Each structure stands twice: as structure tokens, then as C-alpha cells.
Amino acid sequence: MLAKYEWGIEDIPFYFFVFSTKNEKDCKVFEIIVDESTRFQHINNLSNIKTYLDNQLEIGFKPKPKYSRCQSCGLADTCLHKVNVPIPQKVYI
């Protein structure tokens, strides 16, 4: 899709390789086939995320602190959103 957008080239095949971690001679090759509905959904998702990110850049991103990340963050000393204890997780029974 990027090649079509950038250069007007369509139908460039896309492959990826998966290698075994146990046997160096074992690998699989996958050709990715993208149909029109998937292509349309992808373009729609890109448009939606662009709108969302532009909005977040304008109003500011909402912090999502996490105890494990805050412990190793270089900004923790001055951060207003630092978490000093783990946030309880809700369990419904």
C-alpha cells in the first residue's frame, strides 16, 4: 500500500520468513495476500489513528503510569504522574 501511495506501483508481493530457534535449517516463507476489504479497512484505520493522534497532540496525551515502568524511568523524580505503589487490578467474581 505504501508503494502505491508513494510511487503508484500496485501488486508488489510481500513475503516474510519465519526461522526456527531450534533448527537453523528450518524456516517457512509466507506470502501475504491482501484483499480489497482488508486494504480498505487498513486505510480507514490509518485515517482514524491520524485523527486521534492529531487530537492528542493538540490537547495533550493522557498519562498512563505503570508501577514497573515508573521504577526505571529517568523522569520519575519530577513526574507528577509517577506511581509509587502498584495500581490495584479489579477482579470480578
pLDDT digits (tens, 9 = 90+) for 37-71: 988 998 899 999 999 999 999 999 888 899 999 99
Mean of the per-residue pLDDT values of the chain: 90
**% the chain with pLDDT above 70:** 99
| DSSP 3-state of 75 | coil
Model confidence at 72, pLDDT cuts 50, 70, 90, reads very high
Q: Is residue 24 over pLDDT 90?
A: no
- Where does the pLDDT of residue 10 fall: very low under 50, low under 70, confident under 90, or very high at 90 and above? confident
- Strand pairing of 14-19 and 27-32? antiparallel
Q: Compute the C-alpha angle 85/80/71, nearest 5°.
A: 40
Retrieve residue 1's grid coordinates.
500500500
